[in-house]
Protein backbone atom coordinates (compact mmCIF):
# COMPACT_ATOMS: atom_id res chain seq x y z
CA UNK A 1 0.00 0.00 0.00
CA UNK A 2 1.13 3.55 -0.70
CA UNK A 3 2.70 5.58 2.09
CA UNK A 4 0.40 8.21 3.59
CA UNK A 5 1.80 11.18 5.52
CA UNK A 6 -0.15 11.56 8.74
CA UNK A 7 -0.40 15.34 8.67
CA UNK A 8 -1.65 17.49 5.81
CA UNK A 9 1.08 19.67 4.36
CA UNK A 10 0.95 23.36 5.24
CA UNK A 11 2.21 26.59 3.81
CA UNK A 12 3.70 29.70 5.43
CA UNK A 13 0.45 31.65 5.69
CA UNK A 14 -0.88 28.99 8.08
CA UNK A 15 1.74 29.76 10.74
CA UNK A 16 2.60 32.60 13.09
CA UNK A 17 5.51 33.31 15.40
CA UNK A 18 4.85 33.71 19.12
CA UNK A 19 7.07 36.35 20.80
CA UNK A 20 9.91 35.44 23.15
CA UNK A 21 11.50 37.67 25.81
CA UNK A 22 13.04 40.83 24.32
CA UNK A 23 16.06 42.10 26.27
CA UNK A 24 17.40 45.71 26.04
CA UNK A 25 20.10 44.78 23.50
CA UNK A 26 17.54 43.08 21.30
CA UNK A 27 17.12 45.86 18.73
CA UNK A 28 17.18 45.62 14.92
CA UNK A 29 20.55 47.40 14.74
CA UNK A 30 22.13 44.51 16.66
CA UNK A 31 20.67 41.73 14.50
CA UNK A 32 23.04 39.83 12.20
CA UNK A 33 21.53 38.09 9.17
CA UNK A 34 24.77 36.38 8.16
CA UNK A 35 24.17 32.79 7.17
CA UNK A 36 26.11 29.88 5.66
CA UNK A 37 25.67 29.08 1.96
CA UNK A 38 27.67 25.86 1.59
CA UNK A 39 28.39 22.86 3.79
CA UNK A 40 31.00 22.90 6.53
CA UNK A 41 32.11 21.10 9.69
CA UNK A 42 30.08 23.03 12.21
CA UNK A 43 31.93 23.72 15.44
CA UNK A 44 35.39 23.42 13.93
CA UNK A 45 35.22 25.66 10.86
CA UNK A 46 33.18 28.39 9.18
CA UNK A 47 31.27 27.84 5.97
CA UNK A 48 33.66 28.60 3.06
CA UNK A 49 30.96 30.94 1.71
CA UNK A 50 28.47 32.87 3.83
CA UNK A 51 25.82 35.34 2.73
CA UNK A 52 25.49 38.66 4.58
CA UNK A 53 21.72 38.56 4.09
CA UNK A 54 19.72 35.34 3.68
CA UNK A 55 18.32 36.10 0.22
CA UNK A 56 19.25 34.67 -3.17
CA UNK A 57 17.51 35.40 -6.47
CA UNK A 58 15.91 32.61 -8.49
CA UNK A 59 17.61 30.81 -11.38
CA UNK A 60 15.19 32.32 -13.89
CA UNK A 61 15.34 34.25 -17.17
CA UNK A 62 12.97 36.86 -15.81
CA UNK A 63 14.94 37.36 -12.58
CA UNK A 64 18.68 36.76 -12.48
CA UNK A 65 21.01 38.39 -14.99
CA UNK A 66 24.26 40.25 -14.33
CA UNK A 67 22.48 43.51 -13.41
CA UNK A 68 20.41 41.75 -10.75
CA UNK A 69 23.50 39.89 -9.51
CA UNK A 70 25.45 43.11 -8.99
CA UNK A 71 22.53 44.85 -7.25
CA UNK A 72 21.91 41.92 -4.91
CA UNK A 73 25.61 41.33 -4.11
CA UNK A 74 25.79 45.03 -3.15
CA UNK A 75 23.19 44.32 -0.47
CA UNK A 76 24.89 41.12 0.73
CA UNK A 77 22.88 38.43 -1.08
CA UNK A 78 23.59 36.40 -4.20
CA UNK A 79 21.99 35.84 -7.58
CA UNK A 80 22.10 32.59 -9.47
CA UNK A 81 22.40 33.50 -13.16
CA UNK A 82 19.86 31.56 -15.20
CA UNK A 83 21.06 28.47 -17.03
CA UNK A 84 18.34 28.40 -19.68
CA UNK A 85 20.58 30.20 -22.18
CA UNK A 86 23.66 29.17 -24.15
CA UNK A 87 26.75 28.23 -22.17
CA UNK A 88 28.61 31.19 -23.71
CA UNK A 89 25.90 33.71 -22.77
CA UNK A 90 25.63 32.44 -19.20
CA UNK A 91 29.42 32.45 -18.77
CA UNK A 92 29.53 36.00 -20.19
CA UNK A 93 26.99 37.18 -17.59
CA UNK A 94 29.04 35.60 -14.80
CA UNK A 95 32.22 37.18 -16.19
CA UNK A 96 30.49 40.59 -16.29
CA UNK A 97 29.65 40.37 -12.59
CA UNK A 98 33.18 39.32 -11.73
CA UNK A 99 34.64 42.12 -13.87
CA UNK A 100 32.38 44.76 -12.34
CA UNK A 101 34.29 47.15 -10.18
CA UNK A 102 32.10 49.10 -7.81
CA UNK A 103 32.34 52.74 -8.72
CA UNK A 104 33.89 52.00 -12.15
CA UNK A 105 31.19 52.30 -14.78
CA UNK A 106 31.44 51.14 -18.38
CA UNK A 107 29.88 54.13 -20.15
CA UNK A 108 26.41 53.27 -21.48
CA UNK A 109 25.93 56.58 -23.35
CA UNK A 110 28.40 57.06 -26.19
CA UNK A 111 28.42 58.94 -29.51
CA UNK A 112 30.80 59.87 -32.33
CA UNK A 113 32.05 63.41 -33.10
CA UNK A 114 29.89 63.75 -36.19
CA UNK A 115 26.68 62.77 -34.41
CA UNK A 116 24.27 65.63 -33.76
CA UNK A 117 22.68 67.47 -30.88
CA UNK A 118 19.48 65.57 -31.73
CA UNK A 119 21.38 62.29 -31.20
CA UNK A 120 22.51 63.63 -27.80
CA UNK A 121 18.93 64.53 -26.82
CA UNK A 122 17.64 61.13 -27.96
CA UNK A 123 20.31 59.29 -25.96
CA UNK A 124 19.64 61.33 -22.81
CA UNK A 125 15.93 60.55 -23.18
CA UNK A 126 16.64 56.83 -23.72
CA UNK A 127 19.20 56.19 -20.95
CA UNK A 128 18.35 58.99 -18.54
CA UNK A 129 22.08 59.83 -18.19
CA UNK A 130 23.45 63.31 -18.86
CA UNK A 131 27.11 62.42 -19.38
CA UNK A 132 27.91 61.20 -22.89
CA UNK A 133 31.35 59.96 -23.90
CA UNK A 134 32.42 60.98 -27.40
CA UNK A 135 34.69 58.31 -28.81
CA UNK A 136 36.30 57.59 -32.19
CA UNK A 137 33.80 54.83 -33.00
CA UNK A 138 30.92 55.78 -30.70
CA UNK A 139 31.47 52.75 -28.44
CA UNK A 140 32.19 52.50 -24.71
CA UNK A 141 35.84 51.60 -25.34
CA UNK A 142 36.73 53.68 -28.38
CA UNK A 143 39.44 56.39 -28.34
CA UNK A 144 38.17 59.19 -26.09
CA UNK A 145 37.70 62.50 -27.97
CA UNK A 146 35.53 64.48 -25.58
CA UNK A 147 32.54 64.52 -23.24
CA UNK A 148 29.11 66.11 -23.60
CA UNK A 149 27.08 66.99 -20.54
CA UNK A 150 24.00 69.20 -20.20
CA UNK A 151 26.34 72.13 -19.56
CA UNK A 152 27.64 71.93 -23.14
CA UNK A 153 24.42 72.79 -24.97
CA UNK A 154 21.30 74.94 -24.80
CA UNK A 155 18.48 73.46 -26.80
CA UNK A 156 16.67 76.81 -27.08
CA UNK A 157 19.67 78.47 -28.74
CA UNK A 158 21.23 75.72 -30.82
CA UNK A 159 20.21 73.89 -33.98
CA UNK A 160 19.57 70.23 -33.28
CA UNK A 161 21.53 69.38 -36.45
CA UNK A 162 24.72 70.81 -34.95
CA UNK A 163 27.53 68.26 -34.81
CA UNK A 164 28.79 67.09 -31.43
CA UNK A 165 32.41 68.11 -32.20
CA UNK A 166 31.38 71.78 -32.30
CA UNK A 167 30.08 71.87 -28.71
CA UNK A 168 31.60 68.94 -26.79
CA UNK A 169 34.26 69.53 -24.13
CA UNK A 170 37.29 68.20 -26.03
CA UNK A 171 39.82 65.78 -24.58
CA UNK A 172 42.47 68.48 -24.11
CA UNK A 173 40.16 70.39 -21.76
CA UNK A 174 39.17 67.30 -19.77
CA UNK A 175 40.72 65.92 -16.61
CA UNK A 176 41.32 62.19 -17.17
CA UNK A 177 43.28 59.49 -15.35
CA UNK A 178 44.93 56.19 -16.29
CA UNK A 179 42.85 53.02 -16.01
CA UNK A 180 45.15 51.76 -13.24
CA UNK A 181 43.77 54.47 -10.89
CA UNK A 182 42.14 53.12 -7.72
CA UNK A 183 38.66 54.21 -6.70
CA UNK A 184 40.04 56.22 -3.82
CA UNK A 185 42.52 58.03 -6.10
CA UNK A 186 39.78 58.66 -8.66
CA UNK A 187 37.56 60.17 -6.01
CA UNK A 188 40.39 62.39 -4.77
CA UNK A 189 40.89 63.69 -8.34
CA UNK A 190 37.13 64.32 -8.63
CA UNK A 191 37.12 66.29 -5.38
CA UNK A 192 40.33 68.23 -6.07
CA UNK A 193 39.15 69.31 -9.53
CA UNK A 194 35.46 69.79 -8.64
CA UNK A 195 34.41 67.33 -11.35
CA UNK A 196 31.18 65.41 -11.78
CA UNK A 197 32.88 62.56 -13.61
CA UNK A 198 36.35 61.27 -14.38
CA UNK A 199 37.11 59.23 -17.53
CA UNK A 200 39.75 56.51 -17.05
CA UNK A 201 41.73 55.78 -20.21
CA UNK A 202 44.27 53.14 -21.18
CA UNK A 203 47.73 53.70 -22.67
CA UNK A 204 46.21 53.99 -26.18
CA UNK A 205 43.80 56.71 -25.12
CA UNK A 206 40.79 54.36 -25.21
CA UNK A 207 38.04 54.87 -22.66
CA UNK A 208 37.79 52.06 -20.06
CA UNK A 209 35.56 53.39 -17.31
CA UNK A 210 33.85 56.48 -15.97
CA UNK A 211 33.90 57.26 -12.25
CA UNK A 212 31.01 59.48 -11.12
CA UNK A 213 30.97 61.78 -8.12
CA UNK A 214 27.46 60.68 -7.18
CA UNK A 215 28.48 56.99 -7.00
CA UNK A 216 31.01 57.61 -4.26
CA UNK A 217 28.45 58.05 -1.52
CA UNK A 218 26.41 55.12 -2.88
CA UNK A 219 29.46 52.86 -2.76
CA UNK A 220 30.16 53.92 0.80
CA UNK A 221 26.64 53.02 1.84
CA UNK A 222 26.85 49.29 1.05
CA UNK A 223 28.35 47.88 4.22
CA UNK A 224 26.99 44.37 3.54
CA UNK A 225 28.50 43.85 0.06
CA UNK A 226 29.19 40.19 -0.72
CA UNK A 227 32.78 40.10 -1.96
CA UNK A 228 35.24 37.33 -2.81
CA UNK A 229 38.88 37.25 -1.67
CA UNK A 230 39.79 39.55 -4.57
CA UNK A 231 37.07 42.05 -3.59
CA UNK A 232 34.87 41.15 -6.58
CA UNK A 233 31.13 40.66 -6.23
CA UNK A 234 30.10 37.04 -5.67
CA UNK A 235 27.74 35.33 -8.06
CA UNK A 236 26.15 31.90 -8.49
CA UNK A 237 25.09 30.15 -11.68
CA UNK A 238 22.49 27.56 -12.63
CA UNK A 239 23.44 24.30 -14.34
CA UNK A 240 21.38 21.37 -15.62
CA UNK A 241 21.79 17.60 -15.63
CA UNK A 242 22.40 17.36 -19.39
CA UNK A 243 25.21 19.59 -20.61
CA UNK A 244 27.12 19.84 -17.30
CA UNK A 245 30.34 18.43 -18.78
CA UNK A 246 30.63 21.57 -20.91
CA UNK A 247 28.68 24.12 -18.86
CA UNK A 248 30.43 23.58 -15.52
CA UNK A 249 33.99 24.18 -16.82
CA UNK A 250 32.85 27.30 -18.70
CA UNK A 251 31.16 28.75 -15.61
CA UNK A 252 34.09 27.90 -13.36
CA UNK A 253 36.44 29.54 -15.88
CA UNK A 254 34.20 32.64 -15.95
CA UNK A 255 34.56 32.90 -12.17
CA UNK A 256 31.24 31.62 -10.77
CA UNK A 257 31.55 31.31 -6.99
CA UNK A 258 28.86 28.64 -6.60
CA UNK A 259 26.80 26.51 -8.96
CA UNK A 260 23.33 25.11 -8.43
CA UNK A 261 21.57 22.34 -10.30
CA UNK A 262 18.33 23.92 -11.43
CA UNK A 263 15.58 21.37 -11.51
CA UNK A 264 11.94 21.14 -10.55
CA UNK A 265 12.65 17.82 -8.82
CA UNK A 266 16.02 16.79 -7.46
CA UNK A 267 15.62 13.28 -6.01
CA UNK A 268 16.99 11.74 -9.21
CA UNK A 269 19.85 9.67 -10.59
CA UNK A 270 20.62 12.60 -12.95
CA UNK A 271 21.46 14.92 -10.08
CA UNK A 272 23.64 12.22 -8.51
CA UNK A 273 25.52 11.84 -11.82
CA UNK A 274 26.00 15.60 -12.16
CA UNK A 275 27.30 15.90 -8.59
CA UNK A 276 29.75 12.99 -9.07
CA UNK A 277 31.07 14.56 -12.26
CA UNK A 278 31.84 17.76 -10.34
CA UNK A 279 33.41 15.93 -7.40
CA UNK A 280 35.58 13.78 -9.67
CA UNK A 281 36.76 16.71 -11.76
CA UNK A 282 37.13 19.38 -9.07
CA UNK A 283 37.06 17.66 -5.66
CA UNK A 284 35.63 20.13 -3.15
CA UNK A 285 36.94 23.24 -4.88
CA UNK A 286 33.76 23.79 -6.89
CA UNK A 287 30.70 24.36 -4.71
CA UNK A 288 27.36 23.13 -6.00
CA UNK A 289 23.84 23.10 -4.63
CA UNK A 290 21.15 20.60 -5.67
CA UNK A 291 17.40 20.18 -5.46
CA UNK A 292 14.55 20.63 -5.27
CA UNK A 293 13.34 18.19 -2.64
CA UNK A 294 10.44 18.28 -0.17
CA UNK A 295 11.14 15.49 2.32
CA UNK A 296 13.77 13.67 4.39
CA UNK A 297 14.42 11.02 1.73
CA UNK A 298 15.17 13.58 -0.94
CA UNK A 299 17.47 15.53 1.40
CA UNK A 300 19.43 12.44 2.53
CA UNK A 301 19.86 11.33 -1.07
CA UNK A 302 21.36 14.64 -2.23
CA UNK A 303 23.42 15.00 0.98
CA UNK A 304 25.05 11.62 0.33
CA UNK A 305 25.48 12.47 -3.34
CA UNK A 306 27.69 15.39 -2.28
CA UNK A 307 25.54 18.55 -2.55
CA UNK A 308 26.97 21.66 -0.86
CA UNK A 309 23.49 23.03 -0.15
CA UNK A 310 20.03 21.67 -0.79
CA UNK A 311 17.01 23.51 -2.11
CA UNK A 312 13.47 22.84 -0.96
CA UNK A 313 10.22 23.40 -2.84
CA UNK A 314 8.02 21.76 -5.42
CA UNK A 315 4.96 23.48 -6.77
CA UNK A 316 4.94 26.48 -4.42
CA UNK A 317 6.38 29.07 -6.81
CA UNK A 318 4.05 31.92 -7.75
CA UNK A 319 4.27 31.06 -11.48
CA UNK A 320 4.26 27.30 -10.93
CA UNK A 321 1.48 24.97 -12.04
CA UNK A 322 3.34 21.70 -11.41
CA UNK A 323 0.89 20.66 -8.72
CA UNK A 324 -2.05 21.16 -11.07
CA UNK A 325 -0.33 19.52 -14.02
CA UNK A 326 1.32 16.56 -12.33
CA UNK A 327 -0.10 16.35 -8.82
CA UNK A 328 3.32 16.40 -7.16
CA UNK A 329 4.58 18.77 -4.49
CA UNK A 330 4.12 19.63 -0.85
CA UNK A 331 3.07 22.65 1.20
CA UNK A 332 6.26 24.68 1.47
CA UNK A 333 6.25 25.14 5.26
CA UNK A 334 5.88 21.42 5.93
CA UNK A 335 8.60 20.66 3.39
CA UNK A 336 11.01 23.13 5.05
CA UNK A 337 10.26 21.79 8.55
CA UNK A 338 10.87 18.16 7.55
CA UNK A 339 14.02 18.88 5.54
CA UNK A 340 15.40 21.03 8.39
CA UNK A 341 14.95 18.07 10.75
CA UNK A 342 16.78 15.83 8.25
CA UNK A 343 19.58 18.42 7.96
CA UNK A 344 20.00 18.43 11.77
CA UNK A 345 19.93 14.61 11.88
CA UNK A 346 22.61 14.46 9.17
CA UNK A 347 24.72 16.98 11.10
CA UNK A 348 24.45 14.93 14.31
CA UNK A 349 25.57 11.80 12.45
CA UNK A 350 28.39 13.29 10.40
CA UNK A 351 29.37 16.65 11.96
CA UNK A 352 28.65 18.23 8.57
CA UNK A 353 26.09 21.02 8.35
CA UNK A 354 24.46 21.31 4.93
CA UNK A 355 22.64 24.64 4.54
CA UNK A 356 19.11 24.40 3.17
CA UNK A 357 17.30 26.94 1.03
CA UNK A 358 13.53 27.54 1.01
CA UNK A 359 12.80 28.13 -2.67
CA UNK A 360 9.57 29.76 -3.85
CA UNK A 361 6.22 30.69 -2.39
CA UNK A 362 7.31 33.75 -0.37
CA UNK A 363 4.41 36.22 -0.62
CA UNK A 364 4.69 38.40 2.49
CA UNK A 365 7.88 39.59 4.14
CA UNK A 366 6.96 37.67 7.30
CA UNK A 367 7.13 34.46 5.27
CA UNK A 368 10.90 35.06 5.09
CA UNK A 369 11.14 35.14 8.89
CA UNK A 370 8.97 32.04 9.16
CA UNK A 371 11.07 30.13 6.60
CA UNK A 372 14.23 30.96 8.57
CA UNK A 373 12.58 30.12 11.90
CA UNK A 374 11.48 26.77 10.48
CA UNK A 375 15.11 25.96 9.75
CA UNK A 376 15.94 27.39 6.32
CA UNK A 377 19.41 28.95 6.18
CA UNK A 378 18.55 31.14 3.23
CA UNK A 379 15.69 31.83 0.86
CA UNK A 380 15.40 31.85 -2.93
CA UNK A 381 12.88 34.27 -4.42
CA UNK A 382 11.66 34.83 -7.94
CA UNK A 383 8.52 36.98 -7.92
CA UNK A 384 9.93 39.20 -5.17
CA UNK A 385 13.00 40.20 -7.22
CA UNK A 386 11.19 40.25 -10.59
CA UNK A 387 9.35 43.41 -9.41
CA UNK A 388 12.49 45.53 -9.15
CA UNK A 389 14.21 47.87 -11.60
CA UNK A 390 17.18 45.51 -11.78
CA UNK A 391 15.29 42.46 -13.10
CA UNK A 392 15.89 41.75 -16.80
CA UNK A 393 12.30 42.14 -17.99
CA UNK A 394 10.33 45.02 -19.44
CA UNK A 395 8.43 47.51 -17.31
CA UNK A 396 5.00 48.09 -18.81
CA UNK A 397 1.87 50.08 -18.04
CA UNK A 398 -1.12 47.74 -17.76
CA UNK A 399 -4.54 49.06 -16.73
CA UNK A 400 -2.99 52.25 -15.41
CA UNK A 401 -0.48 50.44 -13.26
CA UNK A 402 3.24 49.80 -13.78
CA UNK A 403 4.08 46.12 -13.95
CA UNK A 404 7.07 44.00 -14.85
CA UNK A 405 6.96 40.77 -16.79
CA UNK A 406 7.59 37.53 -14.89
CA UNK A 407 7.48 34.07 -16.42
CA UNK A 408 8.24 30.59 -15.12
CA UNK A 409 11.10 28.47 -16.36
CA UNK A 410 8.53 25.78 -17.16
CA UNK A 411 6.49 28.14 -19.31
CA UNK A 412 6.43 28.05 -23.05
CA UNK A 413 8.18 31.40 -23.06
CA UNK A 414 11.29 30.17 -21.19
CA UNK A 415 11.31 26.72 -22.83
CA UNK A 416 13.70 25.44 -20.16
CA UNK A 417 13.04 21.77 -20.84
CA UNK A 418 16.36 20.79 -19.19
CA UNK A 419 14.88 21.79 -15.85
CA UNK A 420 12.14 19.22 -16.27
CA UNK A 421 14.37 16.57 -17.84
CA UNK A 422 13.42 13.00 -17.12
CA UNK A 423 15.87 11.45 -19.55
CA UNK A 424 13.48 11.79 -22.49
CA UNK A 425 13.49 13.84 -25.64
CA UNK A 426 14.87 17.37 -25.69
CA UNK A 427 11.60 19.28 -25.61
CA UNK A 428 9.02 20.76 -23.30
CA UNK A 429 6.10 18.31 -23.48
CA UNK A 430 3.68 20.37 -21.40
CA UNK A 431 3.89 23.62 -19.51
CA UNK A 432 4.56 23.68 -15.76
CA UNK A 433 4.71 27.44 -15.45
CA UNK A 434 2.84 30.56 -16.52
CA UNK A 435 3.76 33.86 -18.17
CA UNK A 436 2.59 36.76 -15.98
CA UNK A 437 3.00 40.32 -14.72
CA UNK A 438 3.99 41.45 -11.24
CA UNK A 439 3.46 44.86 -9.70
CA UNK A 440 6.47 47.09 -10.31
CA UNK A 441 8.12 48.00 -7.01
CA UNK A 442 11.14 50.26 -7.76
CA UNK A 443 14.78 49.76 -6.79
CA UNK A 444 16.01 46.55 -5.17
CA UNK A 445 17.99 48.37 -2.50
CA UNK A 446 15.00 50.15 -0.91
CA UNK A 447 12.76 47.10 -1.02
CA UNK A 448 15.31 44.69 0.40
CA UNK A 449 16.13 47.16 3.19
CA UNK A 450 12.44 47.42 4.10
CA UNK A 451 11.80 43.66 4.01
CA UNK A 452 14.87 42.87 6.08
CA UNK A 453 14.07 45.56 8.60
CA UNK A 454 10.78 43.72 9.16
CA UNK A 455 12.63 40.40 9.50
CA UNK A 456 15.01 41.94 12.04
CA UNK A 457 12.15 43.52 14.00
CA UNK A 458 10.34 40.20 14.18
CA UNK A 459 13.54 38.50 15.32
CA UNK A 460 13.72 41.05 18.15
CA UNK A 461 10.13 40.21 19.07
CA UNK A 462 11.28 36.60 19.27
CA UNK A 463 14.20 37.67 21.50
CA UNK A 464 16.97 36.59 19.09
CA UNK A 465 19.84 38.35 17.32
CA UNK A 466 21.02 35.76 14.79
CA UNK A 467 19.49 33.25 12.37
CA UNK A 468 20.84 30.21 14.28
CA UNK A 469 19.25 31.64 17.45
CA UNK A 470 15.97 32.11 15.61
CA UNK A 471 16.10 28.50 14.38
CA UNK A 472 16.79 27.33 17.95
CA UNK A 473 14.45 29.55 19.97
CA UNK A 474 11.50 30.46 17.74
CA UNK A 475 8.04 29.46 18.94
CA UNK A 476 5.77 28.74 15.99
CA UNK A 477 2.06 28.09 15.99
CA UNK A 478 -0.22 26.69 13.34
CA UNK A 479 -3.28 28.94 13.04
CA UNK A 480 -6.90 28.10 12.41
CA UNK A 481 -8.69 29.41 9.32
CA UNK A 482 -10.69 31.80 11.50
CA UNK A 483 -7.63 33.28 13.17
CA UNK A 484 -6.12 33.94 9.73
CA UNK A 485 -9.16 36.16 9.06
CA UNK A 486 -8.56 37.87 12.41
CA UNK A 487 -4.96 38.67 11.28
CA UNK A 488 -6.03 41.09 8.55
CA UNK A 489 -7.95 44.31 9.19
CA UNK A 490 -11.59 43.51 9.91
CA UNK A 491 -14.84 45.06 11.04
CA UNK A 492 -13.75 48.56 10.03
CA UNK A 493 -14.47 50.78 7.05
CA UNK A 494 -11.25 51.81 5.34
CA UNK A 495 -10.50 55.38 4.28
CA UNK A 496 -8.68 54.05 1.26
CA UNK A 497 -7.24 50.79 0.03
CA UNK A 498 -4.11 49.98 2.02
CA UNK A 499 -0.97 49.65 -0.14
CA UNK A 500 1.83 47.26 0.58
CA UNK A 501 -0.15 44.44 2.18
CA UNK A 502 1.13 42.13 -0.52
CA UNK A 503 4.66 42.22 -1.93
P1 LIG B 1 8.42 32.55 -6.43
O2 LIG B 1 9.47 33.24 -5.61
O3 LIG B 1 8.05 33.30 -7.66
O4 LIG B 1 7.22 32.16 -5.62
O5 LIG B 1 9.06 31.17 -6.90
C6 LIG B 1 10.27 31.11 -7.59
C7 LIG B 1 10.68 29.66 -7.75
O8 LIG B 1 9.72 28.96 -8.54
C9 LIG B 1 11.99 29.45 -8.50
O10 LIG B 1 13.13 29.63 -7.72
C11 LIG B 1 11.85 28.02 -9.00
O12 LIG B 1 12.23 27.07 -8.04
C13 LIG B 1 10.36 27.88 -9.21
N14 LIG B 1 9.98 27.93 -10.64
C15 LIG B 1 10.55 28.61 -11.66
N16 LIG B 1 9.85 28.39 -12.80
C17 LIG B 1 8.83 27.58 -12.48
C18 LIG B 1 7.81 27.08 -13.39
O19 LIG B 1 7.73 27.51 -14.52
C20 LIG B 1 8.93 27.30 -11.11
N21 LIG B 1 6.99 26.19 -12.92
O22 LIG B 1 8.18 26.57 -10.44
Check if 64 has its Cβ closer than 6 Å to any atom of ligand 1: no
CATH number for the domain including 397? 3.20.20.70
Q: What is the CA radius of gyration of the chain?
A: 25
205 and 286 share one domain: no
Closest Cα to residue 311, out of 239, 377, 406?
A: 377
Per-residue pLDDT of the chain (503 residues; tens, 9 = 90+): 999 999 999 999 999 999 999 999 999 999 999 999 999 999 999 999 999 999 999 999 999 999 999 999 999 999 999 999 999 999 999 999 998 877 888 898 999 999 999 999 999 998 888 999 999 999 999 999 999 999 999 999 999 999 999 999 999 999 999 999 988 899 999 999 999 999 999 999 999 999 998 776 666 668 899 999 988 999 999 999 999 999 999 999 999 999 999 999 999 999 999 999 999 999 999 999 999 999 999 999 999 999 999 999 999 999 999 898 899 999 999 999 999 999 999 999 999 999 999 999 999 999 999 999 999 999 999 999 999 999 999 999 999 999 999 999 999 888 887 787 676 555 667 888 999 999 999 999 999 999 999 999 999 999 999 999 999 999 999 999 888 888 888 889 888 765 554 45
Closest Cα to atom 22, ligand 1: which residue?
320
Whole-number Cα distances in Å, 43 to 5, 31, 47, 350: 34, 21, 10, 12
Q: Same structural domain for residues 282 and 190? A: no
d(CA 464, ligand 1 centre) in Å: 30
Same domain, yes or no: 37 and 118: no
Q: Are residues 289 and 150 in the same domain?
A: no
Is the minimum distance from the CB of 63 to ligand 1 under 6 angstroms? no
Residues 290 and 330 in one domain: yes
Atom 17, ligand 1: which residue's CA is nearest?
408
97 and 115 together in one domain: no
pLDDT value of residue 339: 98
Q: For residues 371 and 364, give the distance between their C-alpha atoms in angstroms, rounded to a whole number.
A: 11
Taking alpha carbons only, the member of 352, 460, 436, 487 closest to residue 16 is 487
* Distance of CA 351 from the midpoint of ligand 1 (Å): 32
Among residues 162, 171, 148, the alpha carbon closest in space to that of 114 is found at 162
CA distance 382 to 359: 9
* In a shared domain, residues 167 and 285: no
Q: Is the CB of 76 under 6 A from ligand 1?
A: no
Same domain? For 150 and 66 the reply is no
Q: Give 490's contacts (C-beta < 8 A, 6+ positions apart).
A: none
Cis peptide before 183 (omega within 30 of 0): no
CATH number of 202's domain = 3.10.580.10
Domain that residue 276 falls in? 12-101+225-487
Apex 198 CA angle, 197 and 203, nearest 5: 155
Domain end marker among 201, 220, 239 = 220
Per the structure, the count of domains in the chain is 2
Mutational test site, ligand 1, from 12, 13, 58, 309, max ligand atoms within 8 Å of CB: 58
The residues that are catalytic are: 320, 419
Both 115 and 247 in a single domain? Answer: no
Residue 12, CA distances (Å) to 282, 331, 366, 433 in order: 38, 8, 9, 21
Report the separation in Å between the CA atom of 156 and the middle of ligand 1, taken as the mean of its atom positions.
51
* Residues 151, 116 within the same domain: yes
- By 3-state DSSP, what share of the chain in percent is helix, strand and coil, each rounded to 5? 35, 20, 45
Kind plus residue range of the DSSP H or E element containing 78: strand 78-81
Residues 241 and 178 in one domain: no
Beta carbon of 319 within 6 Å of any ligand 1 atom: yes
* CB 362 near ligand 1, within 6 Å: yes
pLDDT of residue 501: 46
Kindly write down the DSSP assignment for every residue of 35-73, as one continuous string. Answer: EE-S-EETTT---SSEESSSEEE-S-TTT-SHHHHHHHH
- pLDDT of amino acid 429: 76
Measured between alpha carbons, how far is 189 from 155 in angstroms, rounded to an integer? 31
Complete DSSP assignment for 113-152? TT-BHHHHHHHHHHH----EEEETTSSTTSBEEEEE-GGG
Cβ contact 93:68 at 8 Å: no
3-state secondary structure of 317: coil
Give the residue whose CA is nearest to atom 13 of ligand 1.
Answer: 317
Find the 383 Cα to ligand 1 centroid distance in Å. 8
- Helical (H) or strand (E) element with 447: helix 444-461
User: Which 3 state secondary structure label does DSSP give 169?
Assistant: strand
3-state secondary structure of 248: helix
Q: What DSSP string describes 260-276? A: EE--S---SHHHHHHHH
Residue of 164, 175, 235, 165 lying closest to 211 (CA atoms)? 175
**Could you tell me the pTM of the whole model?**
0.86
Amino acid sequence: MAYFFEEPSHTFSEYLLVPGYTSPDCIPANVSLRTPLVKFRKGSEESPISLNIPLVSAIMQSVSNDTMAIALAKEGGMSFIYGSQSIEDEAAMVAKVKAYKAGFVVSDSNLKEDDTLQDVLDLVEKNGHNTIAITSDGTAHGKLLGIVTSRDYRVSRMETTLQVKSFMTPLESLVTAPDTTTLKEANDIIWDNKLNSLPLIDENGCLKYMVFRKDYSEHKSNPNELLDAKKRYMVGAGINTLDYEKRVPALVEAGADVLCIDSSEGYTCWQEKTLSFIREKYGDTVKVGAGNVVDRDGFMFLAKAGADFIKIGIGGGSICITREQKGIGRGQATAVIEVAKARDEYYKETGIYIPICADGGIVHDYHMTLALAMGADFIMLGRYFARFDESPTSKLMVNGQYVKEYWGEGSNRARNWQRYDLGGKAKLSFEEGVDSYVTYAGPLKDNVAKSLYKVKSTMCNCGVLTIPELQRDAKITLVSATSIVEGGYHDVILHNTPGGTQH
